[in-house]
Structure 1
Amino acid sequence: MFGAMQVAKRIPFDDKPEYILYARAAYVGAQLLCLLINYVISLRIKSKNDLRVLKYVEPKSAMSQEPGELVTTTNRDYDLAEVSKATRGVLMGTLMVGFMHLYMGYTNPLVIQSILPVKNALESKEAMIWLWGKEGAEEYKRPFKAAPGMFGMGGPQGPQTDKAAIAAAERAGGASAAGDKKAE
């Protein structure tokens, strides 16, 4: 991130207006590449059609005292949902950078966001499983653990997969209607 910011600062956008066109083209190309990566991943998920049942307890917010919600789905549906989240993230980022560039006149985000989303798409857990074949590793076990917070501290609590938490959620009647439909 720091390197991308330094590169963006050194490009003379004011002296050479054609550089803005190059930055726009690089940005659009990078976003299309991210969407293509997500599309290829979703095709691979659908072709494998892994219908093994996946149960986990989705935690409520840290401020809530309520127990988590039981989610019952399949590996296929879980992976497709994760890819869908990543695709929505790419589209939301495109809207934000488009606003910053077209309305506010910033050009540096075009350069920075031409590099980082592609890196993130290629290093995502779904890409590691479906593009790079690292499904057996513990860190790529579904459901994925939540990323740590800023500076590696106190991030959001990830889903619970232990049998005691699942049994407690089943007893509490916390099975989600959406999760139950996905498993059918």
Structure 2
Amino acid sequence: MNNPAITNLVISLGAMQVARRIPMEDPQVLTYLRIGYIASQVISLAIYYYITLKIRKRNDLTVLKYVNPASPMNPDAKPELVTTTVKDYDLAETGKAMKSLFMGVAFMCFLHGYLKYTQPLFIQGLMGLKSTLESNPAKLHLFGKKAEGDLARPFKAAGGLMESLTGKAAGPQTDAASIKAAEKAGGKSD
């Protein structure tokens, strides 16, 4: 069960079964659900903040070069060479994860505050914390795993619809030939 998609499905289905048995019409239970959801989001935010502190303390200034592929939606786009440090890359990835967390909170505010759905409070409280603990920055800086395989920088994006249709990985390229070709094309970025 190392596949996050499978564990997400299992936890979601299990949480939905548990949520059906929770009397969400009861105002006291609803208050506890809100407190639980907010607490899980605050814990997730605190974890990401702790990770940023660890990244800054480690201050890994190892140069990282990779080529972002051209956007398939823009035919005039060219692959972009990115030159950064491990510290800056990890901080950027942690920032993306935090933005995703805030987007989830905003969506939940819409679902619960405007549409009055209560069941997602319970499920997203669990899923948000799970996704925080399974994020690549958490694996590297919280659990101390080595940056190899799936955790090698730059991180490989999860396979999406386009990848399944074309069979091509849309993630960054790190091979020397791609980097050299992007340098010749003048696609440098810092």
Q: Partner of 2:68 in structure 1?
A: 58
> In the TM superposition, what is the alpha-carbon distance from 1:17 to its structure 2 partner?
1.8
Contact 2:147/2:153 (<8 A) preserved? no
- CA-based RMSD of the aligned residues comes to 1.6
Residue 181 (structure 2) pairs with residue 165 (structure 1):
no
Task: Give the SS at the match of 1:73.
Answer: strand
Q: Partner of 1:71 in structure 2?
A: 82
Task: Give the SS at the match of 1:27.
Answer: helix
Contact 1:60/1:67 (<8 A) preserved? yes
- Identity value in percent: 49
Q: Distance in 2 between matches of 1:80 and 1:142?
A: 12
Cα pair distance change 1:60/1:115, threshold 3 Å: same
> In the TM superposition, what is the alpha-carbon distance from 1:34 to its structure 2 partner?
0.5
Q: How many residues align?
A: 175
Contact 1:147/1:156 (<8 A) preserved? no
Which residue of the other structure, out of 118, 131, 141, is the alignment partner of 1:130? 141
> In the TM superposition, what is the alpha-carbon distance from 1:89 to its structure 2 partner?
0.8
Q: Which amino acid aligns with 1:60?
A: A
Q: Which runs of 5+ in 1 are unaligned?
A: none
> In the TM superposition, what is the alpha-carbon distance from 1:4 to its structure 2 partner?
1.6
Q: Distance in 1 between matches of 2:129 and 2:21?
A: 21
Which residue of the other structure, out of 91, 95, 98, is the alignment partner of 2:102? 91
1:101-140: per-residue Cα shift (whole Å, max 9, x none)? Answer: 0111000110011100111111111111001111243211
Task: Give the SS at the match of 1:60.
Answer: coil
Task: Give the SS at the match of 2:84.
Answer: strand
Q: Which runs of 5+ in 2 are unaligned?
A: 1-11
Q: Which amino acid aligns with 1:169?
A: A
Q: Partner of 2:50 in structure 1?
A: 40
